[in-house]
A and B are shown apart, each in its own frame.
Chain A
Amino acid sequence: MSQLQLEQVRKSFMNGEVEEEVLKGVNLTLNKGEVTALIGSSGSGKSTILSIAASLQPLSKGRIIFDHQNLVELKPEQIRKIRAQQYGFVFQQSHLVPFLTVEEQLSLMLDIAEVKGSKYDKQIEIKNVLEKVEMTHRQSAYPASLSGGEKQRIAVARAIIHRPKVLFADEPTASLDSKKSNDIMQLIQELTHSLEMMTLIVTHEEEMLEYTDRVVKMSDGEIITVN
């Protein structure tokens, strides 16, 4: 069974003259078809874990095992390829490309992930994904004309169009009202189950935990409870 595993991950930042340890030996396993929620007070190190797990920043000590490889030992170009092809990202803001239509955002992601296939196949794939996020009617719209919730749906569509194995989301609902937040969380959970992704979500909001399968709580750079 494929997994993403963090083993004894440590991270320190230089804070002026003093070295500050932000992660103090974190062990975390993501499982296929499961939404893992990462909660904890502000500054406890949630975003830092997520970005290290996604190889967006280096760690100070430890290992990241993915597909039987220790990612820490890979070259930047290999890491980039893994991020492009195996990972999907949803950020706090949608961060869509302002001058591309909804359709083109998705087509760009297929190019970045170097997905093979005819133009026609890709067109079908884009249609499928837009149906999944219920945005078919806005396929030719530019981001500026979409509402916050709609933008985030497109961001989710972009994160899954290339069928990644892992989905990373750092507070994906922070800029949405609670009705829309629920919708997005539900969407992510459904997609995680149907596409069998390993999903890691950082969240602040208690009520979002309803849409997660496992909760990991952090405090001061350490995992304190898992349930």
Chain B
Amino acid sequence: MILAWKEIKNNKAKFSIVGSIILLISLLTFIISGLANGLSQDNMSLIKNFPDGTFYMAEDSNNSYAQSRIDEKKQMQLLENGEYSFAFSLQMGNLKIDSNKQKNVSLMTYTDNKYYQNIDNGEIVLDHSLKKEGIKAGDQLSFRQSENSFEVAGFVDDARFNHSPVVLINQNDFNNLFRTQAFQIVFSPIFNKDIDGLNAYSNSEFLNTIPSYQAEQMTLNMIVWFLIIISGMLFAIFFYMMNVQKLGMYGILKALGIRTNTLYTMIWTQMGIITVSALISSALLSQVFQSIAPTSMPYSLPLTSTIQLSILFIVVGFMGATLSGIQIKRIDPLQAIQQGEA
């Protein structure tokens, strides 16, 4: 619409200030949301890469996998479902890299299943991030927890738990290391089958039982929401202030017979032009940030998140602009005519 565009063209400074503030806020939002996502991958990619399904833990576990002991009969009952269900356990351990260097790892063991390879006695499979420590297939490594040494049989991608690399290990070796028998968790791809004495969790519910994960993500997501709400308020305030300056002009146009909808369309168009150009710039800048951020900084912003956040910004901007436009409906043309030239 010509009115909307011509006004932006003739008031470049005013509109670019609004645009750059939206740009900065959305850039900050993108970066923080990229960090939230990067951190959650770094923290829990093992669980995040599970297929959708149900996690079962013992009812008396206080929602903590570490305290959960699955009753053997119930485990059998669940695993009847077939090769896509399995029981597993996780424990923190310390991998000796060399004589004076250790690394925190999460050891994981499981019953036979279709997702994870079988590990032989005396062997381990490591998350690929441990390659950076100079570890190769065939190396002999041991844990602080025992004298036995294990041969590195291979590596897997994106297996991290509690911000540490995951080590896959055979069930007997695991039981010897940690002196346990029972599994902690059963995973089943079937949804919501209630079992007496067990609690069922969806993937995201299970993730949120892990305190470090929940605290981390909640904080960051709260900041993201906060920024989105602030940007909506900024929109409302900026457009309100710009509208106040233009009430006289709107009143005259109403006296001439302009439709109120045309004026709203003008505000929406301007909001759209400013937001979309600010969002495109900040999406590009956030990609630049991704490429220059230090590798030790977990940062990952998938395109879908960028698009989802952008749509949210547009919706919030739309609401802000509309809210600021309510006054347009109430303008009295007569008052505008009697006032001096705007």
Residues of A within 8 A of B (CB): 51, 56-57, 80-85, 87, 89, 91-95, 97-100, 104, 107-109, 112-113, 142, 158, 170
User: Does B137 belong to the interface (CB within 8 Å)?
Assistant: no
- The one of A57, A80, A92, A100 that contacts B6, using a Cβ cutoff of 8 Å: A100
Q: Which residue of B lies closest to A94 (CB)?
A: B341
User: Which residues of B are found within 8 Å of A84, using beta-carbon distances?
Assistant: 256-258
Other A-B contacts than A97-B3, A112-B257, 8 sampled, CB-CB below 8 A, are A83-B256, A95-B249, A95-B336, A95-B341, A95-B342, A97-B249, A97-B253, A112-B262
Chain B contact residues: over half helix, strand or loop, or mixed?
A: helix
A98 touches B2 (CB 8 A): no
Q: Which residue of B lies closest to A168 (CB)?
A: B255
B340 touches A89 (CB 8 A): no
> Could you pull out 7 A-B pairs where Cβ atoms are within 8 angstroms?
A93-B340, A95-B336, A98-B249, A99-B6, A99-B10, A100-B3, A112-B262
User: Which residues of A are found within 8 Å of B342, using beta-carbon distances?
Assistant: 95, 98
User: Which residues of B are found within 8 Å of A87, using beta-carbon distances?
Assistant: 257
Of residues 255 through 291 on chain B, the ones whose CB sits less than 8 Å from some CB of chain A are 255-259, 262
User: Does B242 belong to the interface (CB within 8 Å)?
Assistant: no
- The one of B10, B258, B340 that contacts A112, using a Cβ cutoff of 8 Å: B258
Cα separation A73 to B337 with both chains bound (whole Å): 24
User: Which residues of B are found within 8 Å of A80, using beta-carbon distances?
Assistant: 257, 259
User: Does B334 belong to the interface (CB within 8 Å)?
Assistant: yes
Cα separation A92 to B6 with both chains bound (whole Å): 26
Cα separation A80 to B257 with both chains bound (whole Å): 5
B257 touches A85 (CB 8 A): yes
Q: Which residue of A lies closest to B258 (CB)?
A: A112
User: Does B298 belong to the interface (CB within 8 Å)?
Assistant: no
A108 touches B257 (CB 8 A): no
User: Which residues of B are found within 8 Å of A92, using beta-carbon distances?
Assistant: 337
Q: Which residue of B lies closest to A93 (CB)?
A: B341
A112 touches B334 (CB 8 A): no
User: Which residues of A are found within 8 Å of B53, using beta-carbon distances?
Assistant: none
Chain B 306-342 interface mask (CB, 8 Å, partner A; 1/0): 0000000000000000000000000001101100111
Q: Which residue of A lies closest to B6 (CB)?
A: A99
B3 touches A108 (CB 8 A): yes
User: Which residues of A are found within 8 Å of B60, using beta-carbon distances?
Assistant: none
Closest CB in chain B relative to A109 CB, distance in Å:
7
Closest CB in chain A relative to B256 CB, distance in Å:
6
B10 touches A83 (CB 8 A): no
B334 touches A56 (CB 8 A): yes
User: Does B11 belong to the interface (CB within 8 Å)?
Assistant: yes
- The one of B3, B7, B257, B336 that contacts A83, using a Cβ cutoff of 8 Å: B257
Cα separation A108 to B4 with both chains bound (whole Å): 12
Closest CB in chain A relative to B241 CB, distance in Å:
17
Cα separation A93 to B9 with both chains bound (whole Å): 25
User: Which residues of B are found within 8 Å of A91, using beta-carbon distances?
Assistant: 252, 337
User: Which residues of B are found within 8 Å of A142, using beta-carbon distances?
Assistant: 10
Cα separation A99 to B13 with both chains bound (whole Å): 14
A109 touches B256 (CB 8 A): yes
A108 touches B2 (CB 8 A): yes
A99 touches B7 (CB 8 A): yes
Q: Which residue of A lies closest to B336 (CB)?
A: A95
Q: Which residue of A lies closest to B1 (CB)?
A: A111
Closest CB in chain B relative to A89 CB, distance in Å:
6
Cα separation A104 to B1 with both chains bound (whole Å): 12
Q: Which of B3, B262, B341 has the most CB of A within 10 A?
A: B341
Cα separation A57 to B340 with both chains bound (whole Å): 19
B249 touches A104 (CB 8 A): no
Closest CB in chain B relative to A156 CB, distance in Å:
13
User: Which residues of A are found within 8 Å of B257, using beta-carbon distances?
Assistant: 80-85, 87, 112-113
User: Which residues of A are found within 8 Å of B3, using beta-carbon distances?
Assistant: 97, 100, 108
User: Which residues of B are found within 8 Å of A89, using beta-carbon distances?
Assistant: 255-256
Cα separation A85 to B262 with both chains bound (whole Å): 16
Of residues 1 through 51 on chain B, the ones whose CB sits less than 8 Å from some CB of chain A are 2-3, 6-7, 9-11
A99 touches B253 (CB 8 A): no
User: Which residues of A are found within 8 Å of B340, using beta-carbon distances?
Assistant: 93
B341 touches A104 (CB 8 A): no
Also in contact, A95 and B6, with CB within 8 A (given A112-B257, A113-B257): no
A112 touches B252 (CB 8 A): no
Closest CB in chain B relative to A200 CB, distance in Å:
15
Chain B 117-140 interface mask (CB, 8 Å, partner A; 1/0): 000000000000000000000000
B252 touches A95 (CB 8 A): yes
Closest CB in chain A relative to B133 CB, distance in Å:
64
- The one of B9, B258, B333 that contacts A56, using a Cβ cutoff of 8 Å: B333
User: Which residues of A are found within 8 Å of B10, using beta-carbon distances?
Assistant: 98-99, 142
Cα separation A113 to B258 with both chains bound (whole Å): 8
A56 touches B2 (CB 8 A): no
Closest CB in chain A relative to B3 CB, distance in Å:
7
Closest CB in chain B relative to A119 CB, distance in Å:
12
Also in contact, A83 and B6, with CB within 8 A (given A91-B337, A93-B340): no
A112 touches B255 (CB 8 A): no
- The one of A56, A112, A170 that contacts B253, using a Cβ cutoff of 8 Å: A112
Q: Which residue of A lies closest to B259 (CB)?
A: A80
Cα separation A93 to B259 with both chains bound (whole Å): 22
